[in-house]
């Protein structure tokens, strides 16, 4: 969260948003679509076998296209893969 939080702060210049997202995205002041995307990302990370058509329909109901949903799925999956590789190899991230 430190590395990505710093990048988000540079993009948004919104310290409170970054801190709220670090603590719990559900308390952050974000739009409904962003919250649903994060809900999907958490579910895909923690319970991937529970993802179903209804999860996709929720995203579509907020205006996500098939391409956007594919992008979200690929990004979440990639980060999960990289994090597990780093953890499996005992890699420790540097603190800034």
Same domain, 84 and 41: yes
Same domain, 23 and 38: no
What's the full length of the chain, in residues?
A: 96
Same domain, 8 and 36: no
Same domain, 42 and 13: no
pLDDT grade for 94, boundaries at 50, 70 and 90: low
Same domain, 51 and 87: yes
* Average pLDDT along the chain: 91
Q: Is the per-residue pLDDT at 58 higher than 60?
A: yes
Same domain, 61 and 18: no
Same domain, 43 and 23: no
Q: How far apart are the first and last CA of the chain?
A: 11
Tell the burial category of 56 from Cβ atoms under 10 Å away from its Cβ (0-12, 13-18, 19+).
Answer: middle
Domain that holds residue 4: 1-29
Q: Is the per-residue pLDDT at 96 higher than 60?
A: no
Interatomic CA distance for residues 23 and 77, integer angstroms: 22
Interatomic CA distance for residues 36 and 52, integer angstroms: 14
Cβ–Cβ under 8 Å, residues 3 and 93? yes
Helices (H) and strands (E) in the chain, counts: 5, 0
Same domain, 43 and 90: yes
pLDDT grade for 33, boundaries at 50, 70 and 90: very high
Number of domains in the chain: 2
Same domain, 57 and 86: yes
Q: What's the pTM value of the predicted model, to 2 decimals?
A: 0.84
């Amino acid at each position: 969260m430190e590395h990505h939080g710093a990048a988000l702060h540079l993009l948004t210049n919104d310290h409170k948003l970054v801190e709220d997202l670090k603590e719990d995205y559900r308390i952050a002041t974000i739009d409904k679509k962003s919250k649903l995307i994060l809900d999907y990302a958490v579910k895909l990370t923690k319970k991937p076998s529970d993802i179903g058509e209804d999860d996709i329909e929720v995203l579509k109901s907020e205006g996500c296209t098939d391409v956007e949903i594919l992008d979200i799925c690929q990004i979440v999956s990639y980060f999960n893969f990289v994090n597990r590789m780093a953890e499996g190899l005992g890699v420790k991230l540097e603190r800034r």
